[in-house]
Structure formats: structure tokens, C-alpha cells
């Protein structure tokens, strides 16, 4: 079966060199390498690292940040939160442009 793979240049170079060294085709070298890799025992899955405090993953897999009940954002309106975000983004842009102190 034919397939197309987008491989890094250095890996293709190594594949070419090995096929010349082994007096084999690139197809044979790649096939042998893939077979060895697929037969290798997969490492035991590890548990993901714990999430930082206040961060949860919802039922759809999206991150949700929970703030403390006394956090300033709890008392802010949506418009105030958006304005604060815009201000922060503008400050970051000015810093990147070298225009902020």
C-alpha cells in the first residue's frame, strides 16, 4: 500500500544514509524501523500532573478557572472585566512595540 508521510528532513537524511549503508531500499529500512517501533512495549501510562488550584476541566474538556469568593472579579460586571482585558492587551502590545515604559 502506498502512503505519504511528511517527515523531518533530518530523519529522511538518516533513512537515506542507513539504506545506503545497509545496501537496502528506503522502503525496507523504513518498514523494519516501523515494525520495531510498533512491537516495542508501550510505557505504562502515567497520570497527568495535578491541576493548579482553581483550575478545573469541565465535562466538555475545556478549562474552567474558579476564583475565590472574595476575588475582585466576583464584584465586577462583564463590561468591567472586558475593559480590564482590553487594557491589559493594549499594555502588552505597547510593551512589545517598545512604546511602554
The average confidence (pLDDT) of the chain is: 88
Residue appearing with cell numbers 545506503 = 20
Domain positions in the chain: 9-39, 69-101
State yes or no: pLDDT of 89 exceeds 90: yes
Residue 69 DSSP code:
T
pLDDT band at 25, cuts 50/70/90? very high
Residue 2 DSSP code:
-
pLDDT digits (tens, 9 = 90+) for 31-57: 999 998 888 777 777 888 888 888 899
State yes or no: pLDDT of 21 exceeds 80: yes
Q: Do 28 and 36 touch, CB atoms closer than 8 A? A: no
pLDDT score of 101: 67
Amino acid at each position: 500500500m502506498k502512503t505519504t508521510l511528511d517527515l523531518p528532513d533530518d530523519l529522511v537524511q538518516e533513512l537515506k544514509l542507513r539504506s545506503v549503508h545497509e545496501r537496502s531500499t528506503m522502503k525496507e529500512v523504513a518498514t523494519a524501523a516501523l515494525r520495531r517501533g510498533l512491537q516495542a512495549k508501550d510505557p505504562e501510562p502515567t497520570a497527568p500532573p495535578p491541576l493548579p488550584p482553581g483550575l478545573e476541566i469541565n465535562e466538555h474538556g475545556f478549562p474552567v478557572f474558579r476564583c475565590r469568593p472574595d476575588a475582585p472579579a466576583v464584584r465586577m460586571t462583564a463590561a468591567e472585566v472586558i475593559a480590564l482585558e482590553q487594557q491589559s492587551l493594549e499594555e502588552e502590545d505597547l510593551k512589545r512595540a517598545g512604546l511602554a515604559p
